Amino acid sequence: MFNLERWEEIFETIRKNKLRTFLTGLSVASGIFILVILLGFNSGISNGVRAAFEEDATNRISIWTGVTSKEHKGLNPGRYVQLRNEDYQSLNQKYEEQIEYRTSLYSLWGGQVTYGKESGNYRIEGSDPDQQFIENETMVSGRFINKSDLDQVAKIAVIGNQIQLDLFKGEDAVGKQIKIFGINFLVVGVFSDPGGSREENRVFIPVTTAQGVFNAGDRLRSIAYTVQMSEDFDQAVALSTAMAESLESDLKARHSVAPDDRSAVRVFNTLEEAKKIYGLIDTIRAVFWFIGIGTIIAGVVGVSNIMLIVVKERTKEIGIRKAIGALPGSIIGMIMQEAIFITAIAGFIGLFAGVGLLELVAPYAETDFIKSPQVDFNTSITTVFVLIGAGALAGFIPARRAANIKPIEALRDE
């Protein structure tokens, strides 16, 4: 029930102790402000990491090979391990049930692409049709590579949107002829990529065509898979990790590589890396909460001290109240209400200031690792509950002390 007299008493106490109340409220507001800023930037870091992983499928396993660093089965170190079509086919057959998407790759890091009088140097990648989904490509126009293109060793190309902007100057590239190292290719599609222009500076052609045009025979540069995802993230990570380890073991056995040779066969499991980074983000978030809560506690201690002083100054008044029949519950309610009011007002000022500052600086804080730093609704609600709890905690000890005052001793107090 609303008690006007109690609120008048609260405001009268605040007016009598303006500076003391202001400084105490400032410490609470600072705590909430710092907590909001820290959590906002933690959210920005989390968004940045997720955006980075969204550039490719998060459940991707990539396989590269290199030079052996150890002797094994009488073979000297320094051998280059060459991936071939038969390696890819063998792995596909063995892991059919675990595989979601698959592609073999034969890539050239730099290739001259020409259209009319325009030309540029772009990455050329021979791939399978599933590369579209492994790379999270979205078709702007036309289509991606299909199985018929592989079977027919077709000279077709799918180009990134950035290449279309560079070479075609506003024209639709689909249906046009481009030259790659002087060889004609028909553009059948244009794609966009979540990674932006850097990832759109690529040309995809059928892997069979790449092997034929660039005299690669049956050689491959790399292999990529995505694994079937489970609803349980930890289970998905476990399955992906087990598959990655098995793939590495199989390839080492096929190419007579020592089991502990880390340079000859390299398998990168994106899902496992994602788990590590998300775990790190959770740790950072916990540290930020710890720092913010610690600062709030410092402010709560200040509020509690103020209320202890208030109780001391109003000892005689409290004694009179009890002498004429005031219950301990009403005394406790009076003190705690004042503490919660001071804490809540200061806390909300800190909350709004923190959210406002995040809104102002967010556009200028954007980097590759920080995206849209902000505090979400759930965090704001949590902060409100923290405020209420802090106010109640700040007022409890002084309130209990006030309730325990004996009227006869209070009336003697000078």
In this predicted model, which residue has the larger pLDDT, 115 or 2?
115
Model confidence band, residue 355 (pLDDT cutoffs 50, 70, 90): confident
The helix or strand, by DSSP H or E, that contains position 280, with its residue range, turns out to be helix 270-313
DSSP 19-58: HHHHHHHHHHHHHHHHHHHHHHHHHHHHHHHHHHHHTS-T
Rg (Cα) of the chain, in Å, rounded? Answer: 34
Phi, psi of 2 (to 5 degrees): -70, 130
Model confidence band, residue 1 (pLDDT cutoffs 50, 70, 90): very low
pTM of the model: 0.61
Query: Distance between CA atoms of 152 and 297, rounded to whole angstroms?
Result: 71
Q: Is the pLDDT of residue 352 over 90?
A: no
pLDDT tens digits, one per residue of 264-312: 999 988 766 666 666 777 777 787 778 777 777 776 777 677 766 666 6
Mean pLDDT lowest among 5-14, 51-60, 145-154: 51-60
Mean pLDDT lowest among 183-187, 203-207, 274-278, 323-327: 274-278
Of the chain, the end-to-end C-alpha distance in Å amounts to 34
Q: Is the pLDDT of residue 56 over 60?
A: no
Q: Average pLDDT in the 91-99 region?
A: 90
Q: Is the pLDDT of residue 186 over 90?
A: yes
Residue 408 amino acid letter: I
Query: Distance between CA atoms of 409 and 312, rounded to whole angstroms?
Result: 12
What is the domain partition of the chain in residue ranges?
A: 4-52+276-412, 60-269
Query: Distance between CA atoms of 301 and 339, rounded to whole angstroms?
Result: 11
What pLDDT does residue 218 have?
Answer: 93
Task: Give the chain's mean pLDDT.
Answer: 81
The Cα-based distances of 385 to 129, 382, 394 in angstroms read 52, 5, 14
Model confidence band, residue 373 (pLDDT cutoffs 50, 70, 90): confident
Q: Is the pLDDT of residue 125 over 90?
A: yes
* % of residues, the chain, pLDDT over 70: 79
